[in-house]
Amino acid sequence: MLVLAALAVQSLLVVVAAPQDSELRGGRALTPASKLSDDTRTPLAWGRQGSQGRIADADSELQDMIVQYAGDVTDEDVAQAQIAGAEVRRMLREGRTGHLRMTRNQALRLAENPNVAYITPDRELHATGLLDYTVSTVGAVTAQAFGYDGRGIGVAIIDSGVGSEQRDLLNSLCLGSRIVHNKDFVTWEPNSWDPFGHGTHVAGIVGGNGFCAAKAQSLLYNGIPGVAPASNIIALRALDSTGTGRDSSVISAIDYAISVRKTYNIRVINLSLGRVIVESYKLDPLCQAVERAWKAGIVVVVAAGNNGRDNSMKTQGYSTITSPGNDPFVITVGAMNDKQTPSKSDDQMTSFSSKGPTLLDQIVKPDLVAPGNRVISIKPNTGYFQSHYPGNTIPGDWFRGVPYDAYFTLSGTSMAAPMVSGAAALLLQKDSTLTPDQVKARLMKTASKSFPSTSTAVDPTTGQSYTMRADAFTVGAGYLDIVAALSSGDRIATNQTAKSPKAVNQGGTVVFSYDSSDTSGLGVVWGTGVVWGTGVVWGTTVSTTGVVWGTGVVWGTGAPTGTGVVWGTGVVWGTANPFSESTSAAGDN
């Protein structure tokens, strides 16, 4: 099963809305050079990304960049970019972001503009990534029996596109499509469908209805529905035919979703993609974009990444969350193995699911987990997956009513994220007044907290075994439970934020705390006033008496080997050594 979950770094720079500079720069006056990210300032980084694959002249070679502005983008800002010699490709005035093509020297000249906050490369991204069991496991079948099917809720799938010919994405009469809108942001490879196949599979997990494909073959079939089978899909293509995108394409898709959110009632964005973390989320243009969507009233769900097996820094896969899943606002989702049974009693964490805390900021992630191992969903009719993994097609069975050539299995946090996106759609169908923070807090508080303290998984390809601990950096607040979330009446105040807490190392003991550097002035959910319940998961045991956040200890003396690297000043993966995305066609045994 192809497990896709991170965006590799490439060469486009964009200017994005300004974070709190005094926080990020220690109160020092900003020079033009300090406004450039490390991989913008460093000639070697530019050379690696040169168009001819050589060590390029960092000062004179044209590169695509993302520019973040401190205030609204004005005509004067556009004029100053042109005076600096930059080619203005796109300016998002409301998003305070620009996509420009320029040299490093031109970027330095542009940075003299006091409204320019931060400049980064337009980095490259990648996609992250049995439904008949998984929807039962998370409680979606029960929810659908009570009429919660996501009807009227728009879910934006920012991915490799969605195949418009997919029958399970038709309406309840199997006539009109529920893909109510689509738009392509892959400027280097224009296409109106899904030549990769990843986005189609993700869309099926969110909103496949599970019966139109069978009906087309005259089969009597109960179906393999998605979590929200009546939801509307907004297909925003930001990844190309190889599953690769750029910061600019994803940011453009996010800002577009914000601009049309009222037209299509977009209440949820699904991002089953990611890339290496290069700087703090407060500076990362991808993180700033997801925060704009969140603050515009859209729930943003992000795959955690598929790097949980990476032990290159002796951290046992800790601190491998990818961007923008490192942002504390969004809901970051790890992957469980449902063992192909509807009961949660035998489920365990997957070995490939990325773990927290996040690099640089030490944000506690993932936020929760959902099924992501060998998940069955809509099969792309053509494209990469069909040609490279034909064995992942689910065999048709006339006697059982299983349609032929209609469904396909994939593994990854890419598959877990749309489970949560679908769950968010159900909550918003029930109560459209919920804010993104209220949805996040509800899903995390009601998540199941019953896990084995440790579990072991085997890679079916290599035979290598991996041991996973049920700690907060692996399973987050718990396992998605849709029935519990729909049944709960808990609602945090509208002036509260559900930002994920920060893990702090206090003399070898790690505790959770709220990031006091935030200046929003809003009340917080975590911290000493916990809105959490009594179940908590951390260390090598599952506690039933503590609280999840607050002053409770996470790691004591039994910390995983290599955590000194995580907590030290030298991060696990520096900007000059990004970890590669792992892929898998089979998932765990």
- What residues contact 470, with CB distance under 8 A and at least 6 apart? 349, 451, 452, 453, 454, 455, 537, 542
- Count Cβ atoms below 10 Å from residue 18 Cβ, excluding itself: 20
Signed CA dihedral, 407, 341, 160, 583: sign only: negative
Q: Residue 95: helix, strand or coil by DSSP? A: coil
C-alpha distance from residue 326 to each of 199, 288, 342, 358, 359 (Å) = 22, 11, 31, 6, 8
**Rounded to an integer, what distance in angstroms lies between the CA atom of residue 197 and that of residue 105?**
40
Among residues 248, 323, 414, 455, which one is catalytic?
Answer: 414
**Rounded to an integer, what distance in angstroms lies between the CA atom of residue 12 and that of residue 49?**
9
**Is 414 one of the catalytic residues?**
yes
**Is 201 one of the catalytic residues?**
no
Signed CA dihedral, 166, 370, 587, 332: sign only: positive
What single-letter DSSP state applies at residue 578? P
Judged on CB neighbours under 10 Å (0-12, 13-18, 19+), 440 is buried
**Rounded to an integer, what distance in angstroms lies between the CA atom of residue 124 and that of residue 247?**
6
- Count Cβ atoms below 10 Å from residue 462 Cβ, excluding itself: 8
**Rounded to an integer, what distance in angstroms lies between the CA atom of residue 568 and that of residue 546?**
27
Tell me the two tokens of residue 1. Answer: 């099963």
Phi and psi at residue 23, in whole multiples of 5°?
Answer: -70, -45
**Rounded to an integer, what distance in angstroms lies between the CA atom of residue 351 and that of residue 546?**
26
| Residue carrying structure tokens 């955590």 | 563
Measure CA 395 to chain center.
31
Measure CA 43 to chain center.
30
* H or E stretch at 158: strand 154-159
Tell me the two tokens of residue 402. Answer: 């299983």
Asked if 319 and 359 count as a contact pair (C-beta separation under 8 A), the reply is yes
Asked if 376 and 394 count as a contact pair (C-beta separation under 8 A), the reply is yes
Asked if 232 and 176 count as a contact pair (C-beta separation under 8 A), the reply is no
| Gyration radius from the chain CA atoms | 22
Among residues 149, 159, 481, 588, which one is catalytic?
Answer: 159
Among residues 37, 77, 122, 198, which one is catalytic?
Answer: 198
Tell me the two tokens of residue 2. Answer: 């192809």
| Residue carrying structure tokens 């002249």 | 57
**Rounded to an integer, what distance in angstroms lies between the CA atom of residue 106 and that of residue 247?**
20
- What residues contact 141, with CB distance under 8 A and at least 6 apart? 135
Q: Residue 484: helix, strand or coil by DSSP? A: helix
**Is 198 one of the catalytic residues?**
yes
Catalytically active residues, by annotation = 159, 198, 414
